[in-house]
Chain A
Amino acid sequence: MPEIPKTFGLLAEFDNTADVLHAAENVRDAGFRKWDVYMPFPIHGMDKAMGLKNSKVGWFGFLGGVTGYTTGMLMIWWMNAIDYPVLIGGKPMFSPHGAFPPSYELTILFTAFGAIGGMLFLNRLPRLHHPLLKHKRFALATHDKFFIVIETADPKYSEAETRKLLAAAGSQRIEMVEE
C-alpha cells in the first residue's frame, strides 16, 4: 500500500540562544506537550524554559553503584573465603579492607554503566532513523542554528495556530517536516 507522506511537525528556526529561549517559554506557556528544542550545545535555563523536570539518570547511576559494590564484596568473599580458601600472609580469608579496592572499582564501573545505559534508555537511543534527520535544513542543528519542533501528534497542534505562535515567538523560518 503506497503511503501518503504524513507530517511529523512544524520546524521553526532561530538564530541565537536568547530568541530560542524566549520562544521555548512561549511554547511551554501555550501548553504543548509533544515538542522539543534542538540545539548544537545545551543552553542554560532551557530545561526551565521547557518546563522539564530533573533528569532521572541519577537513579540509574546510583543503582549501578550499589550493584557494583555488592557484587565486588560478595564475589571476593565467596571466591577467597568460601569456594577456595587459601591462607596468604597470615591475613584473614576475607576482610573488608583487602576486598575494598576491587569492590570500589566495580562500584565506579557499574555506576558508569548505569549512567550511560540510563541516559541511552531514557533518550531511546541509539536510533537509526528520525524524521528530522532527513530534513535538509535541520543539519544545522548540530552546527549553529536552534530549532523548535512541535509535533503534529500534540493534541493542541493546529497548523495555522501553531505556525502563528512560532512566528510570533520570533522565528523567521518555519517549515513542515515530513514523517
Chain B
Amino acid sequence: MSDAASQIAVPVPPKELERAPLVLNNRSFGWISDRVSAITEGKAPKWWWAAFIPSFTLLGVLGAMLFYQATTGVGVWGNHHPTMWGWDIINFVWWIGIGHAGTLISAILFLLRQRWRTGVNRAAEAMTIFAVMCAGIYPGMHVGRVWFDWWLFPIPTYQGLWPQFRSPLMWDVFAVSTYFTVSVLFWYVGLIPDLATLRDRAKSKIRQFLYGLGALGWTGSNRHWSNYEKAYLILAGVSTPLVLSVHSIVSLDFAVSQLPGWHTTIFPPYFVAGAVFSGFGMVLTLLIPLRSMCKLEDIITMRHVDVMCKVTLATGSIVGYAYAMEFFIAWYSGSAVERFAFINRAMGPYWWGYWIMVTCNVVVPQLFWFPKIRRSLLVVFVLSILVNVGMWFERFVIVVISLHREFLPSNWDYFKPTWVDIMTYLGTFGLFFTCFLLFMRFLPMIAVSEVKGVTAQADPHHPAAKGNGGGH
C-alpha cells in the first residue's frame, strides 16, 4: 500500500497542527539513562530533604494516631449514629481513587498505544501503590479490632466460620488486595530492565548487588524481551478490567444498599471516571514540580501536561454527566426519599460541601478546554489540586450527606470530624510522600527503556535511526 500511497497527494500537516515529539531536543539513548539515573546517584539535593523531613514527620503522626486508635478504639473518630461511616471511608475511597490514574496510564493507555504514557507511567504507578497503601489503612482500622483483620481473608479458624461472600465489603477485600498485588507486580516487571541499567552503571559494590538482585539477571536479550513484552501486554490486559472493577466494587459498597443517594445504577462507571479524574489530578500535582526539580523537561514535556489536562477534562465531564443524571433520575423516580436526599445535598446543612464538589469537579476542569490554561504550569498545578479537593468532597457528599439524614427524621444528626480524624488524614500524606520521595531517590522515576523506545532513532526504519540519535 505504501507504493500506492505515493500516487496520491498526501497533505503535509500545516505548522499549527504538527505534533510535538515525545522526547524533546532529539536526545540520545545514553542521555536518557544518564539523566534519569542521575536522580538516584550522588547526593540528595536540598529540596529533597526539605520535602522528606516534613513528610517523615507526618508519617510519625500517622503512626501515633494509629497506635492511639488501635489501643483506644475507633470511638475516637467523629463517626456516630446515624453517620456510621465518616472520614475513614471518605479517605479510603479518596486514596484508592487516586491510585487509579497510575493503572490507567500504565495499562489502559498501553493498550490504546498512547506512547506519551512512557514519560509518566513509572511515577504514576508508584503513586498508585502508595495511594493504595494509604487507602488500605482505613478499612483495616475501621473493623475496630485491628488484630482480627486476618478474619477478612478466607483462613480457617477454630470457629469454623468463613467470610461472608454476599457482602460487598468482602468483595472489597479481594478487589483491593488483588489491585495492590497486581499493581506492585506490574510496576516491578516494568522496573526490571531499568534496574539492570542501574546495576550496570553502579559504581559501588552495594548498589551493584542490590540493583542486581532486583534486575534478576536481566541481560536485554531479545529472546527475553519477546517473552517480557508478552507478559507486559497480558499484565496490561488484566490490569485494565482490574482497575475498572476495583472502583466499581468500591461503588457497590454503596450502591447495593437501599439508601437514597447510594443506591443508583450509574455508580460503577461514575466512580471509575471520578477515580481516574482524581488520579490525574494527583499525577499533575506531583509531576509538575518534579519535572523542573529533576530537570526532566525533555521527557515530561508540555505535550504530556497538555494531554493529561485533557484526560482530566474528559473524566471531569463524565463525572458531571453522572451528577446530572443522579439528580435528574431522583426527580424522575418520583420517590420522596430519593428527591429529599438530593435536595438535602444541595440545600441541606452541608450545602457548601455539595457546591464545592460541583465547582471543583465539573466547573473547574472545564477551564482545560482553553489551550492557554493548559500551557500555564502554575494554573494547571493549582487546578490539579482543586480537582482533588473536589473529589474529597464528592466522597464527603456521598458518605456523610447521605447518611446524616436518612429515612427517619428523629434519626438525623450533624456529623463533625474529631482531631483524630484530621490528624490521621494528614498522617496518610506523610506515608504517601515519604514513600514517593524514597522511590524517586532510589528507583528510576522514568521508565528508561520505554522512553528510549519512543524516540525517533529507536525505530530502525526511521531515517534518524542511522545516527544513534542526535547529540546531547
**Which A residues fall within an 8 A CB radius of B?**
15-21, 24, 36-47, 50, 52, 54-58, 61, 65, 75-76, 79-80, 83-84, 86, 88-89, 91, 98-99, 101-102, 104-106, 108-109, 111-113, 115-116, 118-120, 122-123, 125-130, 132-133, 138-144
Contact = CB atoms under 8 A, between A and B. Distances in A.
B249 interface: yes
B226 A84 contact: no
Nearest to B450: A41
Interface residues of B, number: 70
Contacts of A79: 154, 162-163, 165
A16 B468 contact: yes
B217 A112 contact: no
B460 A21 contact: yes
B231 A16 contact: no
B217 to A, nearest CB: 4
A127 B216 contact: yes
A111 B226 contact: no
* Closest CB pairs A-B (n = 3): A119-B231, A144-B29, A126-B216
B175 A130 contact: no
A35 B279 CA distance: 44
A109 B182 contact: yes
Given A39-B220, A101-B175, A132-B219, A112 B182 contact: yes
Interface string B204-248: 000000000000111111111111111100110011011001000
Interface in B155-190: 160-168, 170-171, 174-175, 178, 181-182, 185-186, 189
B201 interface: yes
Given A16-B460, A40-B197, A144-B452, 19 more contacts: A17-B457, A17-B465, A19-B466, A36-B221, A38-B220, A38-B222, A61-B238, A79-B154, A79-B165, A111-B238, A113-B185, A123-B221, A126-B217, A127-B216, A129-B217, A130-B217, A141-B200, A142-B218, A144-B33
B193 interface: yes
13 contacts: A17-B457, A18-B465, A40-B33, A40-B193, A40-B220, A105-B245, A109-B182, A113-B185, A115-B234, A122-B227, A132-B219, A139-B201, A142-B197
B178 A80 contact: no
Contacts of B453: 41-42
Nearest to A38: B220
B111 interface: no
A44 B453 CA distance: 9
B196 interface: yes
B135 to A, nearest CB: 16
B456 to A, nearest CB: 10
A55 B232 CA distance: 12
B122 to A, nearest CB: 14
A143 B227 contact: no
Contacts of B163: 79
Contacts of A83: 160, 162
A58 B230 CA distance: 7
A39 B225 contact: yes
